[in-house]
Amino acid sequence: MNENYRKAALEAQKDKRKYQNEYTTHSDFCVLKITGPREAKVKFDKDKLDLIKEMYWKVEKSGLVITMLFGKKTSFGQFIMPEADGVINHKNRDRYDFREENIVIEDSANYIKSSKYRETEQAPPGVVYYEKRKGPNYWIARYEKGDNNIKESFNIEKLGFEEAKEKAIKKREEWLECFDD
């Protein structure tokens, strides 16, 4: 009787949720459509469908897709790749595309931020990040430690995406060698 009560309570709780999870299957991938106050369509590999369907997913204000796992918020990426040692980066720049062909695991020390850098974040002295602007987009190298606060932008329209990224990384490495003890 207690087990039946628990199942009924869980079913009733599902109906009260603000977010709905719908799944569609395509030839080689699936899409999780989350609808509610904030919405997202998350692509993932077909072999993970059964695992993902077991969880309830929602979208945070930041746009991060999360679930609760053992009482802790867990992102979609952490859930499908718990063994990943580093930061998940999306090759096609689509933060909701978790198909294996689109994922690269970046070393945490060399993580290249794909969203605009915020001054309030604790960051290492030398960082490289991608910045979208209304005009051209840029890869930016930044060094900030003590009195040294420098930044250099590399225009993607002029240099191309990969070359701008490489130049920003080289510039960061140059500053790290020059300024770090």
pLDDT by residue for the chain (181 residues), tens only, comes to 356 545 544 554 554 467 789 999 999 999 999 988 888 999 999 999 988 888 889 888 888 899 887 778 888 988 888 877 777 878 787 889 999 888 877 765 555 444 444 333 444 566 777 777 667 888 888 877 766 678 888 988 899 888 988 898 888 888 888 776 5
Contact (Cβ atoms closer than 8 angstroms) between residue 135 and residue 155: no
User: Do 143 and 69 belong to one domain?
Assistant: no
User: Do 65 and 143 belong to one domain?
Assistant: no
Report pLDDT for 125. Answer: 60
Report pLDDT for 24. Answer: 95
Could you list the residue range(s) of the whole structural domain that residue 95 is in?
Answer: 2-106
| Cβ-defined contacts of 157-166 (< 8 Å, 24+) | 164/138, 164/139, 165/112, 165/128, 165/130, 165/139
Contact (Cβ atoms closer than 8 angstroms) between residue 91 and residue 71: no
φ/ψ of 125, rounded to 5, equals: -60, -35
- Picking from 74, 106, 138, the residue at the C-terminal end of a domain is 106
d(CA 149, CA 143): 6
Report pLDDT for 181. Answer: 55
User: Do 125 and 167 belong to one domain?
Assistant: yes
User: Do 80 and 13 belong to one domain?
Assistant: yes
User: Do 98 and 27 belong to one domain?
Assistant: yes
d(CA 174, CA 125): 12
Contact (Cβ atoms closer than 8 angstroms) between residue 66 and residue 75: yes
User: Do 102 and 124 belong to one domain?
Assistant: no
Global pTM reads: 0.53
d(CA 132, CA 4): 52
Taking each continuous run of H as one helix and of E as one strand, the counts in the chain are 5, 12
Report pLDDT for 177. Answer: 81
User: Do 80 and 153 belong to one domain?
Assistant: no
- Picking from 80, 106, 132, the residue at the C-terminal end of a domain is 106
User: Do 118 and 42 belong to one domain?
Assistant: no
User: Do 32 and 62 belong to one domain?
Assistant: yes
Among 110, 126, 106, smallest CA distance to 174 is for 126
Report pLDDT for 178. Answer: 78
Q: How far is CA 157 from the centre of its chain?
A: 24
User: Do 90 and 143 belong to one domain?
Assistant: no
SS3 of residue 121 by DSSP: coil
- Picking from 91, 106, 121, the residue at the C-terminal end of a domain is 106
Q: How many domains does the chain have?
A: 2
User: Do 19 and 59 belong to one domain?
Assistant: yes
User: Do 118 and 84 belong to one domain?
Assistant: no
Among 120, 121, 179, smallest CA distance to 149 is for 179
